[in-house]
Amino acid sequence: MSERLHIASLGVTLGGHRVLDGVELNLDAGAYGVVLGPSGAGKSTMLRAIAGLVDASGTIAIGDSVVLGPGICVSPEARGVGFLFQGLALWPHMTVEGHLRYSLKGARVPVAEQANRIRETLEPLGIADLAERRPSELSGGERQRLALARALVARPRLVLLDEPTSSVDPATAADVQDLLADLNRNFGSTILHVTHDQREALALADTVFVMDDGAILQAGSPDDVYERPASATVARFIGAGGLLPATLVGDGEADTPLGHVHVDPAGLTGAVWLLLRPQHLGVAPVGEGVPAQVSRVRYRGGRYAVRVTVGEWPLELRLDERPAMDQPLRIRVVRPPRAVAIRRDS
């Protein structure tokens, strides 16, 4: 049975360093949440605090059960949490079935129920025919599925996934992502997954939590955090593109280093940042636009991701043909950009 996750004022100090500082997070029962942030943001530490594996302050509630709070600290084994560790932590001497039986024994599932539970867990993950193999006899993707099965077999109220695709090749990672996308449907679990991979987060999440420096900066749907970032920090981290300084001078008008452009003002006035994704920009016809210098070109499956600078400001656009390095281009806004919801003087 899945449960809602509620976190308030969560703090963790390790080695004298404040790793988590007042984390606030709410995830609905049965939802797939992804915590997205750079290395060192505190993502894995937050998972370990939820699981009860590090000392923490604040409040954590799973469903109606407070597992951390004033005078309360429930032991890890009593929290009803399944955890897929980044390093998988598989036992080399145990078979696939042995891993799952060990978890079920720890969860005090009656022996008579264990065979059915194991079958019901392995079949949706596609490894039922590998039950007698040991980790050394499995591929990377199969080991990943075993680690998932072990986290799910006791039917935890909450499943925590720590960088679940970081240790496999890109093709296997895509396969594992497809598998993760079906977890809610197959197991009805509430899932909290941490990653630094933006594409993975935006593809899988019902709710994305953008995290940096030990705090949640924004929570919302993938559309929200991509199209409507709450700050310049979030805008710079999520997706390709760049920020330009601008001054809003009227309803939907702004003065920018790209000239006078139409914008979505997002309810702001005065000095703001403009969020410019690659789809907002294009090459200008002769005699139009502003000069930009090509500083980087990357091939992206049929098109080229081109980094340019306009004055001191880096931007990115997509082109069908490869431009020469240091080639001057003239670019323009081809789609109204959005003002990021933060004033430049804040």
Q: Are residues 225 and 246 in the same domain?
A: no
- 140: CATH: 3.40.50.300
> pTM for the full model?
0.88
Q: Are residues 32 and 161 in the same domain?
A: yes
Q: Give yes or no for a contact between 76 and 51, defined as CB atoms under 8 angstroms apart.
A: yes
Q: Are residues 160 and 299 in the same domain?
A: no
Q: Are residues 225 and 251 in the same domain?
A: no
Q: Are strands 215-220 and 207-212 parallel, antiparallel or unpaired?
A: antiparallel
Q: Which two tokens stand for residue 41?
A: 């943001």
Q: Are residues 195 and 275 in the same domain?
A: no
Handedness of CA 204, 207, 210, 214 (dihedral sign): negative
Q: Are residues 68 and 132 in the same domain?
A: yes
Alpha-carbon Rg for the chain, nearest whole angstrom, is 24
Q: Are strands 57-62 and 32-36 parallel, antiparallel or unpaired?
A: unpaired
Q: Are residues 224 and 254 in the same domain?
A: no
Closest CA to 212 of 242, 229, 243, 237: 237
Q: Give yes or no for a contact between 267 and 330, defined as CB atoms under 8 angstroms apart.
A: no
Report the C-alpha gap between 187 and 190 in whole angstroms: 9
Report the C-alpha gap between 68 and 61 in whole angstroms: 7
- Among 232, 261, 276, identify where a domain stops: 232
Question: Where in the sequence is the domain holding 136, given as residue range(s)?
Answer: 5-232
Q: Are residues 283 and 186 in the same domain?
A: no
Q: Are residues 81 and 214 in the same domain?
A: yes
Q: Are residues 266 and 152 in the same domain?
A: no
Residue 279 DSSP one-character state? G
Mean pLDDT by 10 residues, the chain (346 residues): 91 95 96 94 96 97 96 94 88 94 91 93 92 93 90 92 84 84 85 93 95 96 92 89 90 89 86 91 90 92 92 93 86 87 56
Q: How many CA atoms lie within 13 A of 84 on its CB side?
A: 27
Q: Are residues 227 and 244 in the same domain?
A: no
Task: At 77, give phi and psi (nearest 5°).
Answer: -70, -15
Q: How many CA atoms lie within 13 A of 141 on its CB side?
A: 15
- Among 203, 232, 261, identify where a domain stops: 232
Q: Are residues 225 and 326 in the same domain?
A: no
Where do the DSSP E strands lie in 15-146?
17-27, 32-36, 57-62, 65-69, 72-73, 81-84
- Among 232, 257, 279, identify where a domain stops: 232
Split into its structural domains, the chain has a count of: 2
Q: Which two tokens stand for residue 201?
A: 């987060």
